[in-house]
Amino acid sequence: MSNASLAKAPQETTVLVTGGAGFIGSHTVVELLERGYNVVVLDDFSNSSPKALDRVREICSLDATDPQLSLIEGSILDRDTVEEAFTRFNIDTIIHFAGFKAVGESVEKPLEYYWNNIAGTLVLANVARAHGCKNIVFSSSATVYGETGKVPFEETDKRESPTNPYGQTKAMLEQILTDLYVSDDEWNVVLLRYFNPIGAHPSGLIGEDPQGIPNNLLPYVAQVAIGTLDEVGVFGDDYPTQDGTGVRDYIHVVDLARGHVAALEWMAAHPSGVEIFNLGTGRGSSVLDVIHSFEKACGHAVPYKIKPRRAGDIAECFASCDKARDELGWVAEYDLDRMCEDSWRWQSMNPHGYDD
């Protein structure tokens, strides 16, 4: 069976997006559709809503039957479901988002995390290979850099062992996909290491919709701003940073989504290999910077209280973005204020997320 190629027009290219209804997935699907790609979403809605895809269609002015966007509902762990995707559609490449992603929960449920993230990816890659599709963009994370203490993180830095099972699954899957290429140089693997994606589509129609109390800073701040939660706990103010609070490289989810399109275009010109790119802005913002920027966006104070450090957190994390700029021709455009404005628009238009 011939290897599926990316060297053709987007209109003739079909992208399988696993986890395409999720936060980063849904924004990436919008960017792909707007550039003319055909998209097949494979999602089991375990941590996402089918409504996200209705909203994606609304943003892209597609009706429910438009063949540019198709849905297969099911898990990547279910071989029959994955087979169905490759049998019904002529898939050229995969963008693989599907996976469990809560750091704290992964410590409580290591078996579930390793099983879903690792075994699911093995099923996916196995079925894809059987259908001659050896192109994959994998959703990795800055977490694989570990606690080196050195910033900015560069793609050539040695990886440290992540401190939790979630991070381990990302590091292991990077290794597994790299080994696949080593065994068979028809594979084309791009590992995208995300920093901290926040913000929402400027339409306010899609955004982050965490279940229960949010673990991550931005959705927590947004829920305090809308009045669902009382105050933000700031985890530590004694780090060696400008104001003592933790510093992260927040990136607008639309910029991040566009990074995936840039990766597909790059793969068309580099038909095999394994390559790593950081997707961040290269700028670090503290927890207090984020809170103050969100206050500007929502127009009122966001109450917060300094709490002890959270176990496993590092002081500073931000990307070197030179490689993505030089090779992919991609740079993040939006600043922190814009991220907070878009996040607030989503939150205020959808106070309960996708729930009515």
Cα 222 to Cα 196: distance, rounded to the nearest angstrom:
15
Per-residue DSSP letter, 335: -
Cα 115 to Cα 78: distance, rounded to the nearest angstrom:
12
Nearest approach, Cβ of residue 288 and ligand UFG (Å): 9
- Per annotation, catalytic residue among 37, 166, 194, 250: 166
Site map 266..305 versus ligand UFG, x via CB under 6 A: ---------------------x------------------
| Binds ligand UFG (CB under 6 A): choice among 173, 217, 224, 267 | 217
Which is nearest to 99 in space by CA: 136, 155, 135, 138?
Answer: 138
Q: Which stretch binds ligand UFG (CB under 6 A): 41-49, 200-208, 230-238, 263-271?
A: 230-238
Site residues (CB under 6 A) for ligand UFG, limited to 52-111: 101, 103
| # binding residues, ligand UFG (CB under 6 A) | 21
Residue with smaller CB distance to ligand UFG, 202 or 233:
233
Residue with smaller CB distance to ligand UFG, 39 or 218:
218
Cα 102 to Cα 113: distance, rounded to the nearest angstrom:
9
Contact status: 324 vs ligand UFG (CB under 6 A): no
Q: How many angstroms separate the Cα of 78 from the Cα of each of 110, 127, 331?
A: 20, 11, 36
Contact status: 234 vs ligand UFG (CB under 6 A): yes
User: What does 274-297 look like in DSSP terms, one character per residue?
Assistant: EEEEEES-S--EEHHHHHHHHHHH
Residue 27 C-alpha from the chain's centroid: 9
Residue with smaller CB distance to ligand UFG, 114 or 235:
235
Instruction: Identify whether 250 is a catalytic site residue.
Output: no
| Binds ligand UFG (CB under 6 A): choice among 45, 114, 115, 235 | 235
List the alpha helices (DSSP H) in the chain: 23-34, 50-59, 79-88, 103-108, 110-113, 120-130, 165-183, 217-226, 253-269, 287-298, 322-323, 336-349
Is 317 within 8 Å of 163 (Cβ atoms)? no
Q: Which stretch binds ligand UFG (CB under 6 A): 43-51, 76-84, 229-237, 272-280?
A: 229-237
Nearest approach, Cβ of residue 90 and ligand UFG (Å): 33
| Binds ligand UFG (CB under 6 A): choice among 216, 228, 241, 348 | 216
| Binds ligand UFG (CB under 6 A): choice among 310, 311, 337, 351 | 310
| Binds ligand UFG (CB under 6 A): choice among 163, 215, 228, 272 | 215
Nearest approach, Cβ of residue 236 and ligand UFG (Å): 6
Cα 303 to Cα 287: distance, rounded to the nearest angstrom:
13
Which is nearest to 284 in space by CA: 254, 330, 250?
Answer: 250
Would you call 57 helix, strand, or coil by DSSP? Answer: helix
Residue ranges that bind ligand UFG, judged by CB under 6 A? 101, 103, 141-143, 167, 196, 215-217, 220, 232-235, 246, 248, 287, 310, 313, 317
Catalytic residues: 166
